[in-house]
Amino acid sequence: MSAPLNNQLAIVTGGSRGIGLAIASQLAELGAEVIITARKPDALKKAADLIGRQGGRCDGVCCDVSSLADVEALAHKLGARLRKLGVLVNNAGVGGFSAPLHETDPSTWDSILNTNLRGVYYMMRQFAPALIANGGGDIINISSLAGKNALPNGAAYAASKWGLNGLSYSTAEELRGHKVRVTVICPGSVNTELSPHEGKNVSKMLQPSDVAHVVAMVVTQAPQSFASEILLRPAQKP
């Protein structure tokens, strides 16, 4: 079982860096053909080339998940390859941790909610039918402990992640009869560019590879099991 995802296609949004890149690398190591999406073509090419040098199969496709037209174009570009789709990881996200809600500009609110929540809706709406047609698979939504706990000066981000958790719980019930498992992973602070690290010991923070490890556990579960929600914390407080 050195390549348990052999002959499967995996899509990872926000896959050009950070958590998304670590997840894409892990899925490729498990044998999947990986499609990574992001908005910047240069970053996508760099990430796909890195995974290729590691021995994996990876293509980058430009896609802004907050755009329905982009998501539909992504599905069109993949075409017949969707017959192998087995894993969808909704990882693309926008942060926002600098102001209380009453000082948050509406454009900032829209940017965060449109990517972190609406984008996941677009992706699931577009690709869940392929998973159903293929006889099942995994949808993994990367949320945050901010979707479980209060986050002062990050209310818009927290709202997007609370919403993402609710979306995940509900669609898990809708899709489990089709053998599609919907899992939500809620990490604490991860050492990436997304969130502020002031005053934290980054060596004690979660690393992108820690999230990727959990994704690997989810997609290699026995078919009769289903980890619907995983809260991931650092072993020691940073």
pLDDT in the model for residue 197: 72
Element (H, E) at 169: helix 155-175
| pLDDT over threshold 60, residue 1 | no
Domains delineated in the chain: 9-232 (3.40.50.720)
- 207-232 pLDDT, tens digit each: 999 999 999 999 999 999 999 999 99
* The Cα angle at residue 39 between residues 17 and 64, in degrees rounded to 5: 115
Instruction: Kindly state the DSSP code that residue 149 receives in the 8-state scheme.
Output: S
- Inter-helix orientation angle 106-113/155-175, to 10°: 30
Q: Which of 121, 122, 157, 169 is catalytic?
A: 157
Mean pLDDT of 82-97: 96
Tell me what percent of the residues of the chain surpass a pLDDT of 70: 99
Q: What is the secondary structure of 123-145 as a DSSP string?
A: HHHHHHHHHHHTT-EEEEEE--G
CB 187 within 8 A of CB 142: yes
Three-state DSSP state, 191: coil
pTM of the model: 0.96
Mean pLDDT of 38-52: 98
pLDDT bin (cut points 50, 70, 90) of residue 237 is confident
pLDDT in the model for residue 193: 82
Active site residue 169: no
CB 100 within 8 A of CB 155: yes
